[in-house]
Amino acid sequence: MDIFDILGPIMVGPSSSHTAGAARIGGMARALLGGAPVKAAIHLHGSFAETGSGHGTDRALVGGLLGMKPDDLRIPRAFEEAQKAGLAFTIDTVDLREAHPNTALLEVWDAAGKRLELQAASLGGGRILVQRLDGIDVSFTGDYHTLLIRNQDEFGAVAAVTGQLSRMRINVANMSLCRRSRGSEALMVIETDHKLRPLQVDALRRLGPVLSVTYYEKEEEADA
Amino acid sequence: MLDSLQQIIDCAEKTNRLFWEVVLEEDMNQRQVSREQSMAKMLTVWKAMEDASHNYTGARRSVSGLVGGDGLKMRQYNLKGKNLAGGYVGEVIAEALSMAESNACMCRIVAAPTAGACGVLPAVLLPLCHREELSQQQILEALYVASGIGAVVAHRASIAGASGGCQAEIGTASAMAAGALVALRRGSAAQIGHAVAITLKNLMGLVCDPVEGLVEVPCVKRNVIGAMNAVSAADMALAGIESRIPVDEVIDAMGDVGRRMPVEFRETALGGLAVTPTGQEVKRRMAQE
């Protein structure tokens, strides 16, 4: 937490956890999908389910899916904007056991039919924590530039990726690796201090054990 | 460094710097940014506060319909020139109401430290800017002081109603505002500490009991008490009045009270004003809509 978590975020009201954090969760789902979703199923848990409507959590999530930042004045009209943008969505409540009280589970699809499922919690002050991605437990915040790398679970996969990052002079801040079972697919989450250029992301994609790479670039500073 | 106010005060005194400079350097260090980059970002924060104030018209209403228009009412009343509080404080009240209403009505604001308490700090600063020729530099310095205070409270206690009650939100905002005012009047780092201590002591134990769980009732008007409390504490500190309990001990006590506060009084809408007959009626009405 830094002093601009205290004086900030600059945001559309009324609640940093229920509104600003919700917009960021929607934005994260859009970024990880890699483009505009055309369909979304939004499931609200806990306090998001109970007071989400009064706090504009539903509109902020949809706004985030449309690419709106937490300070976007269109958030109150996000449902109308979704219609214009061709995003069909449903919102319901869900009971996720042992989840943070402010949690949303999002299923999103792009025009090509690609699907992404993301579960994230809003921790307060607009900060979020992504906890599940397509059924795999993860833990990242979007406070860093973040690489999500799917790889074959085999010898040298991590070395190949980190070696490439090292050659490109990209410093790893945090890193985790998770797999469903031995020899199947695994997911690396790598948070970096440095921004990656598209060519650098492509270089990671070309590595042998790598199946796919998704890159999330940290939200830029809001302009007043 | 931003985990003890006494440490900031000692550091400022030993190195012959001002409170705000210690906070600025801490930010430069933590985020690895230059002085210019840090101050440019702080200016963005200030501009957003000013814009939020300019954009208030009093016409918007909140989701529940319970909030909106009171800031305008207060401004109109002030203009008649017969308010009890006088010029500056009358404007502080109006500004606190306006900003907190803007938040409830989904306008753009700056969380300080939270969205629910966003009215307190701008409420004491904006009217002073209108009445006195304050330079942009002075305002930014005051904002660094405020943010440093908030960071220490966040570290030692809490700034979230869900964990520490309203004392953690409005109380912290009030402490930040008091420190900013003392800095604007060129009070010492020690005086900033006393103002913070006095402010937090006076709001200790305040519960978070929002009707229907919304950031509306009583949150909007609590921004006013936060701002008024900041003005009186700043004036006391500048007059040389000292807190008998050292500031870090006050913050720790506030954190302790928050932790021992029943969950019904921590933003769950299960106690206090939320469960009054009228509060419950609002809940029923909104469920039907």
Handedness of CA B272, B58, B171, A11 (dihedral sign): positive
Contacts of A51 in chain B (CB under 8 A): 212-214, 269
Query: No. of H helices and E strands in chain A?
Result: 7, 11
Contact at 8 Å (CB) between B245 and B197?
A: yes
Q: Of A132-136, B23-27, B247-251, B258-262, give the lowest mean pLDDT range.
A: A132-136
ipTM confidence score: 0.96
Query: Collapsing DSSP states into helix, strand and coil, what is residue A191?
Result: strand
CA distance A110 to chain B (A): 29
* pTM of structure: 0.92
Q: How many angstroms separate the CA atoms of A31 and A216, rounded?
A: 6
Tally of structural domains, chain B: 1
CB pair distance less than 8 Å for B162 and A224: no
CB pair distance less than 8 Å for B45 and A10: yes
- pLDDT tens-place string over residues A163-185: 999 999 999 999 999 887 888 88
> What are the start and end residues of each CATH 3.30.1330.90 domain in chain A?
3-134
Q: Examine the pLDDT at B1 and tell me if it is beyond 80.
A: no
CB pair distance less than 8 Å for B44 and A224: yes
pLDDT of residue A106: 98
Q: Examine the pLDDT at A223 and tell me if it is beyond 70.
A: no
Q: Examine the pLDDT at A63 and tell me if it is beyond 50.
A: yes
Handedness of CA B82, B86, B90, B91 (dihedral sign): positive
Contacts of the segment A74-77: beta carbons below 8 A, 24+ positions apart: A75/A12, A75/A19, A75/A23, A75/B106, A76/A12, A76/B106
Strands in chain A per DSSP E: 10-12, 37-46, 88-93, 102-110, 115-124, 127-133, 136-140, 145-152, 172-179, 185-192, 210-216
pLDDT of residue B2: 85
- The CATH superfamily assigned to A145-216 is ACT domain (3.30.70.260)
CB pair distance less than 8 Å for B106 and A56: yes
pLDDT of residue A221: 56
Domain range enclosing B93: 5-288
> pLDDT band at A222, cuts 50/70/90?
very low
Is residue B180 within 8 angstroms of chain A, CB to CB? Answer: no
How high does pLDDT run on average in chain B? Answer: 96
Q: Output the six-digit token pair for B41.
A: 């970002």
Q: Examine the pLDDT at B149 and tell me if it is beyond 50.
A: yes
- pLDDT tens-place string over residues B178-191: 999 999 999 999 99
Query: Collapsing DSSP states into helix, strand and coil, what is residue B244?
Result: coil
Q: Examine the pLDDT at A85 and tell me if it is beyond 60.
A: yes
- pLDDT tens-place string over residues B59-105: 999 988 999 999 999 999 999 999 999 999 999 999 999 999 999 99
- pLDDT tens-place string over residues A18-48: 999 999 999 999 999 999 999 999 999 998 9
Q: How many angstroms separate the CA atoms of A115 and A39, rounded?
A: 9
Of A2, A4, A224, the CB nearest to B51: A224
Is residue A112 within 8 angstroms of chain B, CB to CB? Answer: no
How high does pLDDT run on average in chain A? Answer: 93
Contacts of B111 in chain A (CB under 8 A): 7-11, 16, 20, 125-126
Say what percent of chain B tops pLDDT 90. 94
pLDDT of residue A135: 87
Decide which of B194 and A53 is more confident. Answer: B194
Q: Which residues are paired to A175 by β-bridges?
A: A190
CATH number assigned to the domain covering A3-134: 3.30.1330.90
Contact at 8 Å (CB) between A148 and A189?
A: yes
Q: How many angstroms separate the CA atoms of B204 and B202, rounded?
A: 6
- pLDDT tens-place string over residues B119-144: 999 999 999 999 998 999 999 999 99
